[in-house]
Structure 1
């Protein structure tokens, strides 16, 4: 076999379907509601309680709802592509497994390596978001505060804050890892309860907050561009700010892909996985749009925590604070509801930690089972039937990321990786339709020839920026910053080195091992 042939060797769809049917690595315990809860749990969390209000304050203003719609279009196109694959190839590994079937081994490895680190970093981002609300809840109940050094990670943007380590975020990551080592159905039931509490909390926020909306706060809907960004803490606004926010809040509108990593733990994967993918994204988008309208209607997008300060000249903006939803209700003297908000936020964000750690561990397991990483990780727990080794390793790694890295930088690095995976998925489902149109597909993406290219284009624009012409000059607005792109390139280079030094020779397809 030639060198290039080794890079694109692949498993057939029929082979993957056979492996899925014969697999005894996991116990099939989850139905459509538990899968949907994992999807909703992954999507709705830090986006509602942290990123959406923060980006409204810093970039988009009330137009944050448009940012969600832009990000949601690209995400929906990818979601429908995921649904088609999930119904056809119900195997642990999500996009990695789909890439193995369509594109070959090296592209599949790149996708798997990409998703492995992105899922792990998402756990770090979300654990950090959980920490802010949990600290607020503890202070509300007991009046106690952690020492400043243990409240949050060191942030170069605020070098004099005195913060150094996010202790609670580290404990959240380790606690969820310990929970997932136990039987999958125990964790799934716990997650379903937590997601229900989160949804209930968001409903309470929207219903109560709607009575305190002042529609004047939505004007101007797209605030004018702020040229002196330093004076307002980095605010940009304008259409560019709205699109820049879309690149960040995209973090909040994916996550349904995590439920596809649990394919081999689903009772009826070919029916339930597509239903759960579509349902979870639909529920999540409705919640995001509702809460964005309510929060930006309750307080001015550039309103200050200190009411004596003029809007736009704040020491700290309400929507840019570390626990912004609580801060919004406190600004309207609705302190009685802040406890409900903090409980819902802790439950909601913790469920995202659960979903993405579950996904990361199963991708790691799939890579190891195929020989691309050491097989030591592809051993299920003899009693609990869970991938305990990768789960525990991820618990340690994500605890360090959550405890030591600033939340916004983590979110940007996560987005570029996931957007790259979405591009591959949208392209792969098109390629498979052309190559093997006769395959049975329990779910067929409607208008695929329109939606898949649209998903590719939107994902590219969210990475590099949106083409725009002002005063006769062409330029890109929005997108992710160049430092994020370089970090992504470095991580991919590390992944390629591992593949050529280890995975290429130890792959099950290379050794002929079944």
Structure 2
């Protein structure tokens, strides 16, 4: 068989469903929303509204959050349709393998594995910074050697490694146990955010909204330059709801549950982010919010110092639930690669006791802990974004092909305004990819080349499709 023709061979949904029977279907809509909100509402809500208000949009940053949520919701609909039609593990990797062919699925999965691994490590590094700051407020501190890796003048970022290992212990207890802790953490985090929104509303000063969209930000076409720049940055705070699709093989009644979990996550996150931004910019003038802890700063500005510590604790909980959910997703993606033979098949094994892909989970934890503890991730941050945007592009466009496949007919969620909405989502994703820095595009190109070399040297020869 011609090697190019073989690379574009397509996997069947029936084949995936058969392989995924070893996974336990225990997740409900509530659990998926817990995982989704746990990922999306991470450290971003405590940092981004202030930075973007001060640098690009002023109080109009709340509008930027609404626009970002709209884009995320449209892409979320595409993922919801795919996950309803194909309730299998692997997210965009599995969907791409069925719709476009194995090599495209591999590239999408290879892109997502980069996003998940780097995101866990980056958030763990942020957790460490917040935790060390909290220790400092209490009069304690770790030696600098244990606060940063070698690239930043230290030895190892100890707390970044520790939080990943704690998450690992929870995940090894099984899906039923880990989902309880994730859900509880999300409830606590949302409660703290609501406390800020409700309590902070009493300290809003109307004059802080008088210059709602400041003149200095009205650049570019129709004066929307500042707002579009803020929106582009904020969109990345919503990236993570796609991780829900990675758990489709462990979901009860996926035809309905997947769409509710994805769209519920986007809706809840949109409301919380927008209200948070409105209250924040109402308490303090936007010009003062360009700090790493704008919510705590705003509360201190109105002499509510006791609540600033509560906000810091909320940020720590938010990052912890995000780490837990992303390790969960990254291990399921690694399992999918092993399941299909594109990575060593040992990754695709599931332990009988807890029905867990234990080997995949171990690999994910080791790599993520190594990156978090020893490697500075600042230059790689945008790679987190491009991996997801590539998945958005192919999955949104893939809805056009999904509807035409008679063998994939489904009675679950369907994206409205077909075919216009899927095309719009794909074009918006492409636009955002183009807007990324050239350095990011080059680094991503190198990552894709590495993935293609692995695929043609190992994956294509060991793939399950060779047995058909």
Per the TM superposition, whether the score is higher than 0.5 is yes
- Distance of aligned partners of 1:76 and 1:342 in 2 relative to their CA distance in 1, 3 Å threshold: same
Q: How many residues align?
A: 464
- 2:73 maps to 76
CA contact (8 A) 1:319 1:328 kept: no
Q: Which has the higher helix share?
A: 2
Q: Paired residue for 1:500?
A: 456
Distance 1:393 1:58, change over 3 A: farther
- Hey, what's the Cα distance between the residues in 1 that align with 2:182 and 2:49? 23
User: Once structures 1 and 2 are overlaid, which stretch shifts more, 438-447 or 395-404?
Assistant: 395-404
Q: Which moved more, 1:266-275 or 1:348-357?
A: 266-275
SS in 2 for 1:434: coil
CA contact (8 A) 1:248 1:411 kept: no
Offset at residue 224 of structure 1 (A): 4.1
Distance 1:421 1:51, change over 3 A: same
For the residues of structure 2 that align with 1:411 and 1:331, how far apart are their CA atoms?
Answer: 31
State whether residues 178 and 392 of structure 1, in contact with CA within 8 Å, keep that contact through their aligned partners in structure 2: no
- Where do residues 324-343 of structure 1 align in structure 2 (5 Å cutoff)? 324-343=294-313
**Of 362, 386, 404, the match for 2:356:** 386
Within the candidate set 238, 250, 270, 1:253 is matched to 238
Where 1:447 maps in the other structure, the secondary structure is coil
**Do structure 1's residue 179 and structure 2's residue 170 form an aligned pair?**
yes
Q: Distance in 2 between matches of 1:213 and 1:372?
A: 55
Q: Where in structure 2 are the equivalents of 1:400-411 lying within 5 Å?
A: 400-404=370-374, 409-411=379-381
Per-residue CA distance 1:368-400 (angstroms, 9 max, x = gap): 110111112112234322122222222222223
Aligned to 1:143: 139
1:368 aligns with 2:334: no
Measured in 2, the distance between the counterparts of 1:150 and 1:325 equals 27
Distance 1:49 1:152, change over 3 A: farther
Describe the SS at the equivalent of 1:198: helix
**Correspondence 1:285 to 2:276:** no
Taking the aligned partners of 1:438 and 1:252, their CA distance within structure 2 comes to 32
TM-score in terms of structure 1 length: 0.84
Q: Is the 8 A contact 2:31 2:179 kept in 1?
A: yes
1:269 aligns with 2:254: yes
> Once the 2 structures are TM-superposed, how far is the Cα of residue 219 of structure 1 from its aligned partner?
4.2
Alpha carbons 2:217, 2:225 under 8 Å: kept: no
Give ranges in structure 1 of 5+ residues lacking alignment: 228-237, 304-317, 465-478
Q: Which residue of 2 aligns with 1:311?
A: none
Number of the residue aligned with 1:13: 13
Offset of 1:501 from its aligned partner?
A: 0.5
**Equivalent residue in structure 2 for 1:214, among 177, 180, 205:** 205
Tell me how far 1:96 sits from its aligned partner.
Answer: 0.9
Query: Deviations 1:211-230 (Å, cap 9, x if unpaired)?
Result: 11223333433334489xxx
Q: Which residue of 2 aligns with 1:347?
A: 317
1:102 aligned partner = 99
Distance in 2 of aligned mates of 1:355 and 1:122: 11
User: What secondary structure sits across from 1:302 in the alignment?
Assistant: helix
User: 1:410: Cα distance to partner?
Assistant: 4.2
- Give the match's secondary structure for 2:350: coil
- Return the alpha-carbon distance in structure 1 between the equivalents of residues 160 and 210 of structure 2: 37
- Per-residue CA distance 1:221-259 (angstroms, 9 max, x = gap): 3334489xxxxxxxxxx7434323323222211222212
- Residues 166, 248 of structure 1: alpha-carbon distance in 2 compared, 3 angstrom cutoff: farther
The match for 2:404 among 428, 434, 453 is 434
Is 2:187 the counterpart of 1:196?
yes
Which residue in the other structure is 1:357 paired with?
Answer: 327
**Mean Cα displacement is larger for which, 75-84 or 172-181?**
172-181
- Check whether the contact 1:419–1:459 (CA below 8 A) recurs between aligned residues: yes
Residue 35, structure 1, aligned to residue 20, structure 2 = no
Task: Say which is worse superposed, 425-434 or 168-177, in terms of deviation.
Answer: 168-177
- Do 2:380 and 2:440's aligned partners in 1 also have CA atoms closer than 8 Å? no
Closer/same/farther in 2, CA of residues 19 and 494 from structure 1, 3 Å limit: same
For 2:458 and 2:64, the matched residues in 1 are separated by 42
Alpha-carbon distance change, 298 to 153 in structure 1, aligned in 2, over 3 angstroms: farther
Question: Stretches of 4+ moved more than 6 A in 1?
Answer: none
Q: Supply the distance in 2 between the matched residues of 1:168 and 1:153 (Cα, whole angstroms).
A: 11
Q: Which residue of 2 aligns with 1:444?
A: 414
Per-residue Cα deviation, 1:457-486 (whole angstroms, up to 9, x for no partner)? 22122222xxxxxxxxxxxxxx32111111
Deviations 1:400-457 (A, max 9, x none): 3334555654442211111111000001111111233871231111113121111112
Find the aligned partners of 2:77 and 2:313 in 1 and give their Cα distance.
33
The separation in 2 between residues aligned to 1:126 and 1:255, in whole angstroms, is 12
Distance in 2 (alpha carbons) for counterparts of 1:118 and 1:151: 24
- Deviations 1:344-389, CA, capped at 9 Å, x for gaps: 2111111111111111110110011101111121122343221222
Q: What TM-score, normalized to structure 2?
A: 0.92
In structure 2, relative to structure 1, the CA distance for the partners of 1:109 and 1:438 (3 Å cut) is closer
Confirm or deny: 8 A CA contact 1:121 1:414 kept in the other structure: yes
SS at match of 2:239: coil
Residue in 2 aligned with 1:476?
A: none
SS at match of 1:448: coil
Q: Secondary structure at the match of 2:403?
A: helix
